[in-house]
Structure 1
Amino acid sequence: MGFDRGFTRALIVRFVLLLGATFAVVWAWQTPGLVAVRWLAALVLAGTVYGLWQLISRTNVEVARFIETLRLGDLTAHFSGREGSGFGTLGDAFNAAIQQVREERRLSGDELRYLEALIDDMPVALLTADASGRIDPGNKAARRLFARHGGARAEDYAVYGATFAARLAGGGADREEMLILNLDGHAQRALVRSATLTRLGRTTRATIVQPVHDTLNEIEMAAQTDLVRVLTHEILNSLTPVTSLAATAAGLLGEIDRGGDPRLADAHQAVATLARRAEGLARFIDSYRAVASPPRLQRQTFAAAPFVAEIARLFAADWPSVHLHVQIDPPSLELHADPDLLAQVLINLLRNAGEATIAIERADIVLGLYRRAPGQLAIEVSDNGPGVPPALYGDVFLPFFTTRASGTGVGLNLARQIVVAHGGNIEVSQGPAGGALFRILL
């Protein structure tokens, strides 16, 4: 890197003029009677010094302006290296360097935009908290999931759960835990992870919220079906020889019982009873194999109004004394589901509601289908019966659990299996009339 030729020539000329003017001033000063020459030589010397200073100063100013532009972050700057500056080669190097910096910044910007888009589109909700305690949603999933509150403080998130708000405000050690959050209008289990990050001297607490309610429902359903499948298989295997031996023993005792020995008659009756109960128990257990068979969906899109009208006619034929009110909002609502399996769920829920209200003077049941949000459907069955005790909310969907003497404990579990197979959720709570409210979210 060096000076360009124009600058070198200009510098040499000015140095020659400077030496010549200096020599002329000295000569004129030592020679008497040359006053005018002295002044002329002094003026030439001053002009030469000023020109040399201008030449160097112009280059310094241009370099200083270029560096100042870079310091202010303007990467569009260009070092002109115009004639007379003397730094053409240096200017080319500056321009090549700034071009490389611009390219690196462009690549860094592209990478940053990619990472921002990746975080924004990730399916897990991200919340960030700065040192002042301000909570901000970090991506689209967080903005969709936490859209029911106003404000940016931790206490504003209490609408989703007091424990969750306390975790956002508390900070402390990094943790991972399962919390019950009020999301989309109902309680859901969510995995909450928190971590403290320090970058560029700034501390940020990141909280990731991942609803796992549907996933846990599917795992629970799979575990229940596997358990029922194993139990029914093992119990039937053990019960089959008992049934066969009891029937054989009852037959033999019947052949030798002539009424002469009352003890023999009692034994015959006891073994015959055992045979009947064992056979009935075998049929009872075999009927539960339906619980261990996951439903296979055949989805289709169909109008809600005629679908519900048919279910209402079936219900009215079995329960003529119960008033069924149907609500569909909007009236043009369409469903995308397996109509046969979904009808089985609704008939089961309506039958349970009818049995719960049959002893009431005016039994009322409401079947409602509502569009809650784009792509989300709510189906509700509520009654004015005695309702379900809150302590049993988590038990009513378990296989074989029932509160009725004549119940089997299969219907609600099958209903839950069908709903979960649709990718939805079913829950029970207290209805507006004081009875039970079963809500299906699809």
Structure 2
Amino acid sequence: MASRRPGYIRGIGMIAMAIGLAAAGGTIVRAFDHRFWGTIAVAVLVVLWLGALLAVAVARADSQERPANAEQPDDERIMLRVLLDQAPGALLAIEGGQVRALNRAARRLFATDDRVLPAPVALLSPDAARLRHGGRSWRIDRAVVDAPGMPRTLVALVDVEPEEHAAEARATRELLRVLGHEVMNALAPITSLAESALDVLDAPAERRDRLLPDILGTLARRTDGLQRFTEAYRQVARLPEPTVEPVRLADLLADCARLFESEWRHHVRLAVDDPGEIVAAIDRGQITQALLALLRNGAEAGIAVGPHPVVRLGVTTTAARLVFAIRDDGGGVAPADRASIFLPFFTTKAEGNGIGLAAARQIAQAHGGELSLDAGMPTTFSLTIPR
């Protein structure tokens, strides 16, 4: 209602002015007809008075409304700035390839007053979902605003370390549970066999000679199994830090193909996509180990379903990441097992040790990436690494 007041007052003033002019005009005409010079003077004064009254009313309305209309946007901007500065997460605006900090958290994170220089590649890439900065990991949430002249992207950085720590704690608890289960399963028969061997030693020679070799043979096999389990645990627990260097992906995939075919040539066919001349900074040995574990997993899954399975290996790249995809012809992963397949020592195979997928995921995470199982069929594992 306040914004309409000037028009309202002006309208009333114009109506009053018209009535006054009409009345004054009639008075002037009558005055000329009857030579009422005094009446003429009064009519002129009435017209001047009405004009002055209208001018004062309009000026007063403008003086009351203009400051309110001018101050309201400034108040809103100040309020918005206060709210942005109180936000705990870093907020940024990306426009024309430039990144600007919008609040105190963003300015503190990037040690800047306004522009972020140099702009992190992950922020400028619309495909990037994570940012590593200041020794921490941040999830990138984006919203595109169609601003006049040029689209603008608003970015919120969410600290995911608390989530990662919680996930690590859950994984540690699960690992300890699995370790306790596996060690107890191995130690219980060893203890029982050792007690049986002691009992047999006191038995007659004929019975001792007949039973002791069987007991000791079984005991040796169980201790050998426990040793293999310990070595498998060491593979997961002592993964070294990756030594990153530029690697031509075509050479990496060729190495994986040769190693895979030396073991599976007569049973499984491997199809490898040509990645071209792409070069990425990775630990060549660790990524080869991870890809071989995934290829071996695909081969075993395919053979379990039928003869002559095919495993496919490919890689796609963007400005922010590269994704290795491994697909197989197997029967898929049961929904109940999807949450457990990356846990150390979890396996659904009679001869499996549950190490391959867990080690591959650790390698991906050591590179700042992730290993995931895609939804749907065919079974596809995606090993994602930031560039």
Normalising by the smaller structure, the TM-score range is: 0.5 to 0.7
Deviation at 1:368, TM superposition (A): 0.7
Q: Distance in 2 between matches of 1:356 and 1:235?
A: 24
In terms of Rg, which structure is larger?
Answer: 1
**2:76 match:** 108
**1:370 match:** 316
Equivalent position to 2:292, from 323, 347, 351:
347
**2:328 match:** 383
**2:57 match:** 60
Deviation at 1:350, TM superposition (A): 1.7
**1:287 match:** 231
For residue 289 of structure 1, what is the amino acid of its counterpart?
Answer: Y
Question: Is the CA contact (8 Å cut-off) linking 1:382 and 1:437 kept in structure 2?
Answer: yes
1:363-442 equivalences in 2 (<5 Å): 363-371=309-317, 373-384=318-329, 386-391=330-335, 393-394=337-338, 395-421=340-366, 422-427=368-373, 436-442=379-385
Q: Distance in 2 between matches of 1:52 and 1:429?
A: 84
Q: Give the secondary-structure state (helix, strand or coil) at the position aligned to 1:317.
A: helix
Deviation at 1:335, TM superposition (A): 3.1
Deviation at 1:315, TM superposition (A): 1.8
Q: Distance in 1 between matches of 2:162 and 2:195?
A: 49
Q: Give the secondary-structure state (helix, strand or coil) at the position aligned to 2:277.
A: coil
Q: Distance in 1 between matches of 2:184 and 2:90?
A: 52
Per-residue deviation, residues 227-263 of structure 1 (Å, max 9, x unmatched)? 4347647976997899699669848966x77xx5434
Q: Give the secondary-structure state (helix, strand or coil) at the position aligned to 1:396.
A: coil
**1:272 match:** 216
Deviation at 1:401, TM superposition (A): 3.0
Deviation at 1:338, TM superposition (A): 3.2
**1:152 match:** none
Deviation at 1:418, TM superposition (A): 2.7
For residue 351 of structure 1, what is the amino acid of its counterpart?
Answer: R
**1:207 match:** none
Q: Distance in 2 between matches of 1:438 and 1:248?
A: 46
Q: Distance in 1 between matches of 2:374 and 2:256?
A: 21
Q: Give the secondary-structure state (helix, strand or coil) at the position aligned to 2:256.
A: helix
Q: Distance in 2 between matches of 1:241 and 1:361?
A: 39
Q: Distance in 1 between matches of 2:162 and 2:271?
A: 33
Q: Higher relative CO (CA 8 A, sep ≥ 6), structure 1 or 2?
A: 2
**1:302 match:** 247
Q: Distance in 2 between matches of 1:429 and 1:41?
A: 100
1:327-346 equivalences in 2 (<5 Å): 327-329=273-275, 331-346=276-291
Percent identity over the alignment is 21
Q: Distance in 2 between matches of 1:110 and 1:336?
A: 45
Deviation at 1:281, TM superposition (A): 4.4
Equivalent position to 1:262, from 171, 184, 206:
206
Q: Distance in 1 between matches of 2:91 and 2:55?
A: 55
- From the superposition, tell whether residues 108 and 242 of structure 1 become closer, same or farther in structure 2 (CA, over 3 Å): same
Q: Distance in 2 between matches of 1:115 and 1:332?
A: 48
| Runs (5+) with no aligned partner, structure 2 | 1-34, 93-122, 128-156
Q: Distance in 2 between matches of 1:120 and 1:252?
A: 69
**1:95 match:** none
Question: Is the CA contact (8 Å cut-off) linking 2:332 and 2:377 kept in structure 1?
Answer: no
Deviation at 1:294, TM superposition (A): 6.8
TM (norm. structure 1) is 0.49
Equivalent position to 2:270, from 317, 324, 330:
324
**2:118 match:** none
Deviation at 1:109, TM superposition (A): 2.5
Question: Is the CA contact (8 Å cut-off) linking 2:175 and 2:343 kept in structure 1?
Answer: no
Q: Distance in 2 between matches of 1:399 and 1:270?
A: 32
Q: Distance in 1 between matches of 2:38 and 2:160?
A: 97
**1:154 match:** none
Q: Give the secondary-structure state (helix, strand or coil) at the position aligned to 2:346.
A: coil
Question: Is the CA contact (8 Å cut-off) linking 2:311 and 2:327 kept in structure 1?
Answer: yes
